[in-house]
Amino acid sequence: MSQFAAMLLLVFFFKLLAIGLCARLIIKKYPDILASLLGSWLVIQCFFIAWMLLLSAFHSLSAGGIWLGMFLVNFVFVLFLARETKAPTLSITDWKLFLSPTNSIAFLTMVAIFSILTYRSIYFFDQTLDGVIYGLTRLEFYAYYEFYAYYKTLFTVQPTQAFNLFSNEWNGELNGLFYQLAVDNDQAVSFGNVEIWLFCILGYSWLSGLFGLPARFRVVAGLLLGSTPVLLGLAMTINGDLLAIMSFAIALGFTLRVLTINNKLHNELDLLFAFTALGIASGAKITVLPYVILMAILLLWVGFRGRKDTFWLFSGCILSLATGNSRYIINLFIYGNPFKHVESAVPSVSNVINNLNGIVKTGLSLPDLSSQETAWILTYGLGFLGIPMLTWFGYGLWRKNKNLLHFLKTRLSLPFILTLFFLGLGFSLLLLTLPSSSWSFRYFCPYLMLFATFMLAYPYRHFFLKKYNAYGLAIFSVLIVAANVYFMLSKIGEGFPVPFKVAMAQSEMERKLAFHPYLWTGANGLKGLGLEKSDRTLILSKLNFPILPFFGEDHRNRIELVDNLTSLKERAATNQYQIIAVPYPDPHVSFKLNLPGYKQIASYQPFWIVFSHDK
């Protein structure tokens, strides 16, 4: 094992330790082991977002700062646990969850997939265009930008739409940045979504139980959903979609416990965890923000109506919600607009038709296991789960299962009805305002995966009369998981752009651009232009134009961004820059740029025109 891999796993261990210690503290008051683990994960996630913001305020966002935070949170939990004298007891449901043969097989399969994804994260970066053009570029500024006041801080301001696009959705990137800083290696950023994928399995396992699935099959259901191509693909990126999908599901689970008619089924922690999950979800993906706003208002009304002595609980809920949505608050202070650089919504009836058509086609399409052609990991749906799941759900409806009526009767109240209405409203707004594309399925996944969880859980009780039926379902589930995993993890493409042996021999920048080598090694000899020696670089930053190569190896280049030619010429006139790069214009438009004191040294269509200082 390499030193980097050992450090990465050590950081993961300390984060898991904090989650475990927190769960041990609350399980006495919250006797549900999966809910305790998920709630603890939310608390730790929220803590580190707040901790990174605090470090940023003092320009101290570094490896030392992250390790200090890990030490403090674990030390505090150990102090509290030292007062505990009685060991927790697990319920029969928890024992079934861990000891049933079906769940045991699912746990082992989950660990195997997690190991593969972890091994992949040691050698490969996010190769999607969003990752290369936007995500990895922002993380370079957050972690390594050493120019003037912007030194190792999240409060980095660059006056360009390209830098700020999607920046409202930074919670997913921050989880990757946590590992990047703690390990002090850019490669660690790829592990951020692998961790989230692991807890995604646990989240859907728990939610399926709330939908009535027996304990012995819950982890199987979680694994079926977690192994779908759309979620496995997101696990190989640094996008915030996976965190939003997972937090959205957990938020609904805790919300259902808050809103249930039977007050014995929930406690105050449900309310705190629901707000924390809602905040993290909306801070990871702005598409769920309308639903989050409506649900936060509903939970405030239901959760605090008629209660006394709720100051600390109310403060915790609001603080966790604000922490999860910290980027909107920061934008308000920096730009005077919480939604700075968010893409404009374009409502259209054609969007509804095209999106519904895309959801059905993408969600139910069967992957070709024999094909080894390039895999675009953000364009997949449910893979081999889609059609069997619909068939399974249809069978449950045909058998006139009474579970649905029982589920509704025990929760049929105005708040519960409003929750269903808000889910439908949020999904409908997204259908109406989001232009359809080949990768749109993932945007609807926060809503679709909830429905998929319900469809898996709904018909299960029919098979309890005969034991062989239960094992038959488990075996069939394993086959579906195996097919989806094989399809996603055996394809040459964005997930695995080069063989492992090739990646091991590549430099960091070559691995960052392994699926787009022309941006580094093949861009008209860019590597020979002195980028690895440059001190200061000025770039005219535009949408869809990559600037990642200009950081050079080992982050040696200080980069400044401008968003128009006037600003570029004004900055260039100061003669402070060794390299100036301009996006290559439309080839059909005549374009000639004269920068006094600089000479053009490269023109690489369709990306850049590069100038160097004429000393």
**Encoding tokens for residue 522?**
């093949």
Q: How far apart are CA 497 and CA 514, in angstroms?
A: 6
What structural domains does the chain harbor? 3-121+166-489 (no CATH), 518-613 (3.40.190)
Q: For 145-194, what is each residue's pLDDT tens digit?
A: 544 334 577 887 777 777 766 566 789 889 999 999 999 899 999 999 99
Contact 203, 249 (CB under 8 A): yes
Q: How far apart are CA 80 and CA 272, in angstroms?
A: 20
Helix (H, G, I), strand (E, B) or coil at 583: strand
- What residue ranges in 365-514 does DSSP mark as E strands? none
One-letter amino acid of 327: R
The pLDDT value recorded for residue 174 is 92
pLDDT > 70? residue 533 = no
The pLDDT value recorded for residue 467 is 58
Q: Which of residues 462 and 397 earns the better pLDDT score?
A: 397
One-letter amino acid of 227: S
Closest alpha carbon to 508 in 467, 478, 564, 549: 549
Q: How far apart are CA 430 and CA 284, in angstroms?
A: 16
Q: For 249-285, what is each residue's pLDDT tens digit?
A: 999 999 988 887 545 556 789 999 999 999 999 999 9
The pLDDT value recorded for residue 589 is 52
What percent of the chain is modeled with pLDDT above 70?
86
The pLDDT value recorded for residue 464 is 52
The pLDDT value recorded for residue 601 is 78
Q: Which of residues 551 and 206 earns the better pLDDT score?
A: 206
Q: For 108-151, what is each residue's pLDDT tens digit?
A: 999 999 999 999 999 999 999 888 888 888 888 777 654 433 45
What percent of the chain is modeled with pLDDT above 90?
42
Q: How far apart are CA 280 and CA 297, in angstroms?
A: 16
Over residues 5-28, mean pLDDT = 95
The pLDDT value recorded for residue 413 is 66
Phi-psi region of 525 (alpha: psi -120 to 50; beta: other; left: phi over 0): left
Contact 245, 284 (CB under 8 A): no
Q: Which positions ≥6 away from 508 have C-beta within 8 Å? A: 186, 187, 553, 554
pLDDT > 80? residue 490 = yes
**Encoding tokens for residue 373?**
């052609």
The pLDDT value recorded for residue 603 is 66
Helix (H, G, I), strand (E, B) or coil at 540: strand
**Encoding tokens for residue 549?**
């190569």
Distances (CA, A) of 474 to 100, 105, 203, 227, 326: 11, 9, 19, 15, 42
Closest alpha carbon to 125 in 175, 174, 203, 192: 192
Spell out the alpha helix ranges (H) of 285-364.
289-304, 311-324, 326-335, 349-364
- Residue 143 main-chain phi, psi, to 5 deg: -95, -30
DSSP structural state of residue 344: P
Mean pLDDT score of the chain, rounded to an integer?
85
pLDDT > 50? residue 383 = yes
The pLDDT value recorded for residue 524 is 46
The pLDDT value recorded for residue 468 is 59
Helix (H, G, I), strand (E, B) or coil at 322: helix
Torsion of CA 325, 327, 332, 333, to 10 degrees: 120
Over residues 193-209, mean pLDDT = 96
Contact 233, 380 (CB under 8 A): yes
pLDDT > 90? residue 297 = yes
Question: Tokens 């998929």 sit at which residue?
Answer: 452
Q: Which helix (H) or strand (E) holds 244?
A: helix 241-259
One-letter amino acid of 498: V
Contact 246, 253 (CB under 8 A): no
**Encoding tokens for residue 104?**
């045991």
The pLDDT value recorded for residue 536 is 82
Q: Which residues pair with 302 in a beta bridge?
A: none
Residue 352's pLDDT band, with cuts at 50, 70 and 90, is very high
**Encoding tokens for residue 289?**
């923000």
**Encoding tokens for residue 562?**
């401008």
Contact 536, 578 (CB under 8 A): yes
